[in-house]
Amino acid sequence: MRAYERLLRYAVINSTSHEDLEGTPTGEGEFELARLLATEMEALGMTDVFVDEHAYTYGFLPPTPGYELKKAIGFIAHLDTVDDCGGTDTHPQVIKNYDGNPIPLGTSGRILDPQAFPHLKECLGKTILTTDGTSVLGADDKAGIAEIMTLCQRLINDGIPHGKICVCFTPDEEIGHGAALLDLEKFGADLAYTVDGSVPGEIEYETFNAAAARLTAHGISVHPGDARGKMINAMKVIMEANAMLPDQEVPERTQDREGFYHLTGARGSVSEASADYILRDHDAAKIAERKQKMQEIARALNEKYGDGTVTCVIKDQYRNMAEVMADYPEVIDAARKAIQASGLTPSSRPVRGGTDGAQLSFRGLPCPNLGTGGYAYHGFYEYAVAEEMDRCVEILLQLVREYAGA
CATH number at residue 141: 3.40.630.10
The answer on 28 and 42 residing in a single domain is yes
Beta bridge partners of 90: none
CATH number at residue 257: 3.30.70.360
The answer on 139 and 23 residing in a single domain is yes
Query: Which of 277, 297, 318 delimits the end of a domain?
Result: 318
Query: Which of 284, 318, 352 delimits the end of a domain?
Result: 318
- pLDDT at residue number 87: 60
- pLDDT at residue number 351: 86
Per-residue pLDDT of 32-85, as tens digits, reads 999 999 999 999 999 999 999 999 999 999 999 999 999 999 999 999 999 877
The answer on 325 and 307 residing in a single domain is no
The answer on 175 and 254 residing in a single domain is no
Per-residue pLDDT of 334-353, as tens digits, reads 999 999 999 999 999 888 88
- pLDDT at residue number 317: 86
Query: Which of 269, 298, 318 delimits the end of a domain?
Result: 318
The answer on 329 and 183 residing in a single domain is yes
Residue 306's domain comprises: 209-318
Q: What type of residue is 59?
A: G
Distance CA(40)–CA(92), nearest Å, equals 21
The answer on 56 and 18 residing in a single domain is yes
The answer on 185 and 58 residing in a single domain is yes
Check 80, 83, 196, 202 and give the catalytic one: 80
The answer on 392 and 350 residing in a single domain is yes
The answer on 203 and 351 residing in a single domain is yes
Check 40, 141, 147, 173 and give the catalytic one: 173
The answer on 244 and 369 residing in a single domain is no
Distance CA(58)–CA(61), nearest Å, equals 11
User: With a cut of 50, which residues of the chain have pLDDT below it?
Assistant: none
The answer on 155 and 68 residing in a single domain is yes
Q: Are 323 and 365 in contact (CB under 8 A)?
A: no
Number of domains present in the structure of the chain: 2
Is 173 annotated in the active site?
yes
Distance CA(48)–CA(73), nearest Å, equals 16
Distance CA(32)–CA(88), nearest Å, equals 14
The answer on 302 and 390 residing in a single domain is no
